[in-house]
């Protein structure tokens, strides 16, 4: 199957088979080859700040329990009881010393150890080795500047190598000020589309903004930076399938909210100092860490995961964030911009759903499925820019990022081990 799948993406010519958005067999293979191997975003450190704090999430379709144990160490386990496979923790979040399965009462400590088995002495005759039946941990768990990631693949490269040069682009969202960011709140909802449509959109689609979102710009919910004819910027691919939409250094995606605009003006020298000389070349305002973690700093500020739920369904988990050091009134303005711009009701975001839904659902037709998707915009008009540590498009709109994203997807679908995958751009030494 692997060889056949590799032919579904022709990144060189910008042609993508629509089969990858609808066929159940390809989706199953994607769960194995992409989601069970890549580093996936779990949550921000501040969401499990204190001993016992936990939250439940997913890696692909696998339910995961993230918990800080009583000694202060963070773990991520399959949220599945080892006995009958029941979901262990059924709450979104909370604080716990231990978790007890609702089915037969097996109890696990917040470090994953199986501590309690009802009738252990009588029914198991004391012969069940509890130390062998603790919760199943992820293969690797690591964090980058407060962003907690995990992978189910013990062979996956270390997180910093996986992120590669994308790390600097992440800094533009989470490390603009001392103390990093904090989470302001969460939105969760279901979209009837394949997860790759929002992932590619957030990582590279400046092209849809002047049409899809013009109504929000016209009615003052967004400044619509990329709709302006004199805007500058590039589509930037730092490698490994990670992609970012960058505007020019003097352009800003901040919403037309006086508190936020004034704050940004005030902190700009500090941010430039922190991010270094590259921030005088580009301003990354949206991006996707391959495969399904996106970040946004335009109109609103959100981190989000596109959880796959079958080929035709995606569950969006979106967190509004703010610089921890920002004053209270600015955080409040950011909270409101999040509700009004990027949320289920967001004046910007709500217009995306129908497009992604219909791009997915029309793939159900066997004839419509034969028609390849066109991602040819700017083909041959991007180059590696050593100053950006990334491939960058000549013009501010291009589908060069789409081609890199789907190109990486195809490589992962075909590769049996990480050694077969090309490496992204080398990391700057300051990230080593």
Partner 1 sequence: MRNEDVIREIEQFLYREARLLDTRRFHEWLELFTDDVRYWMASRSNRYPKSSKAISILDPDRYIEDDVGREDELAVLDETRQTLAGRVARLDTGMAWAEDPPSRTRHMISNIEVEAGDTEGELRVCSNFIVYRSRAETEEDFYVGARQDVLRRVGGAWKIAQRKLILDQNVLSAKNVSIFF
Interacting residue ranges for partner 1, rule: CB under 8 A: 50-53, 70, 89-100, 102, 110, 184-192, 211-212, 214-216, 218-221, 315, 320, 332, 335-336, 338-340, 343-345, 347, 349-351, 353-355, 357
DSSP letters, 288-329, are EETTTEEEE-SSS-EEEEEEE-STT-EEEEEEEEEETTS-HH
Identify which of residues 203 and 338 has a Cβ nearer to partner 1 in the complex: 338
205 is catalytic: yes
CB 119 within 8 A of CB 128: no
**Smallest Cα–Cα separation from 264: which of 209, 225, 212?**
225
Q: How far apart are CA 105 and CA 287, in angstroms?
A: 43
Q: Cβ of residue 212: shortest distance to partner 1, in angstroms?
A: 7
CB 378 within 8 A of CB 398: yes
Q: Cβ of residue 13: shortest distance to partner 1, in angstroms?
A: 30
354 is catalytic: no
What phi, psi does 324 have (nearest 5°)? -60, -35
CB 274 within 8 A of CB 175: yes
Q: How far apart are CA 312 and CA 22, in angstroms?
A: 6
Structure tokens at 181: 């960011």
Pick the catalytic residue from 111, 171, 205, 323. 205
Q: How far apart are CA 221 and CA 218, in angstroms?
A: 8
Identify which of residues 252 and 357 has a Cβ nearer to partner 1 in the complex: 357
Start-end of H helices in 98-180: 159-163, 166-174
Identify which of residues 88 and 413 has a Cβ nearer to partner 1 in the complex: 88
Identify which of residues 10 and 69 has a Cβ nearer to partner 1 in the complex: 69
Please name the helix (run of DSSP H) or strand (run of DSSP E) that holds residue 100, with its range, or none.
Answer: strand 98-100
Q: Cβ of residue 369: shortest distance to partner 1, in angstroms?
A: 19
Q: Which residues pair with 289 in a beta bridge?
A: 293
Identify which of residues 259 and 382 has a Cβ nearer to partner 1 in the complex: 259
**What is the DSSP secondary structure assignment for residue 35, as one 8-state letter?**
I
213 is catalytic: yes
Q: How many CB atoms lie within 10 A of CB 332?
A: 14
Q: How far apart are CA 284 and CA 266, in angstroms?
A: 19
Pick the catalytic residue from 83, 142, 153, 208. 208
Identify which of residues 249 and 256 has a Cβ nearer to partner 1 in the complex: 256
Pick the catalytic residue from 44, 75, 187, 213. 213
Q: Cβ of residue 340: shortest distance to partner 1, in angstroms?
A: 6
Q: Cβ of residue 195: shortest distance to partner 1, in angstroms?
A: 14
Q: Cβ of residue 204: shortest distance to partner 1, in angstroms?
A: 20
Question: Which residue numbers are catalytic?
Answer: 104, 205, 208, 213, 352
């Amino acid at each position: 199957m692997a060889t056949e799948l590799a032919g579904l993406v022709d990144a060189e010519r910008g042609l993508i088979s629509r089969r990858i958005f609808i066929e159940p067999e390809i989706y199953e293979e994607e769960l194995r080859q992409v989601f069970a191997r890549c580093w996936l975003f779990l949550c921000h450190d501040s969401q499990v700040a204190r001993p016992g704090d936990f939250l439940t999430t997913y890696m692909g379709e696998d339910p995961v329990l993230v918990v800080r144990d009583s000694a202060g160490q963070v773990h991520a386990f399959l949220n599945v009881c080892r006995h009958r496979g029941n979901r262990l923790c059924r709450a979104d979040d909370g604080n716990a010393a231990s978790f007890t399965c609702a089915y037969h009462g097996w109890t696990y400590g917040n470090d994953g150890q199986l501590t309690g088995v009802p009738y252990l002495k009588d029914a198991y005759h004391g012969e069940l080795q509890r130390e062998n039946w603790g919760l199943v941990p992820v293969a690797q768990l690591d964090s980058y500047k407060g962003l907690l990631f995990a992978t189910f693949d013990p062979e996956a490269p270390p997180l910093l190598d996986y992120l590669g040069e994308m790390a600097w682009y992440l800094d533009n969202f989470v490390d603009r000020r001392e103390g990093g960011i904090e989470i302001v709140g969460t939105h969760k909802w279901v979209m009837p589309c394949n997860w790759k449509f929002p992932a590619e959109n957030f990582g590279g689609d400046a092209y849809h903004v002047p049409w899809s979102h013009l109504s929000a710009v016209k009615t003052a919910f967004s400044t619509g930076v990329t709709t302006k004819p004199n805007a500058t910027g590039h589509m930037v691919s730092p490698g490994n399938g990670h992609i970012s939409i960058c505007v020019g250094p003097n352009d800003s995606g901040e919403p037309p909210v006086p508190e936020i605009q004034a704050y940004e003006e005030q902190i700009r020298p500090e941010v430039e100092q922190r991010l270094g000389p590259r921030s005088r070349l580009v301003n990354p305002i949206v991006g996707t860490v391959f495969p399904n973690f996106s970040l946004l700093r335009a109109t609103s500020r959100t981190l989000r995961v596109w959880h796959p739920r079958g080929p035709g369904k995606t569950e969006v988990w979106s967190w509004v964030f703010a610089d921890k050091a920002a004053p209270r009134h600015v955080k409040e303005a950011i909270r409101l911009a999040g509700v009004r711009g990027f949320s289920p009701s967001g004046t910007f975001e709500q217009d995306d759903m129908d497009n992604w839904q219909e791009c997915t659902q029309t793939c159900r037709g066997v004839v419509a499925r034969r028609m390849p998707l066109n991602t040819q915009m700017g083909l041959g008009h991007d180059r590696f820019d050593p100053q950006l540590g990334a491939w960058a498009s000549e013009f501010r709109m291009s589908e060069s990022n789409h081609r890199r994203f789907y190109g990486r997807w195809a490589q992962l679908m075909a590769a049996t081990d990480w050694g077969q995958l090309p490496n992204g751009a080398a990391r700057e030494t300051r990230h080593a």
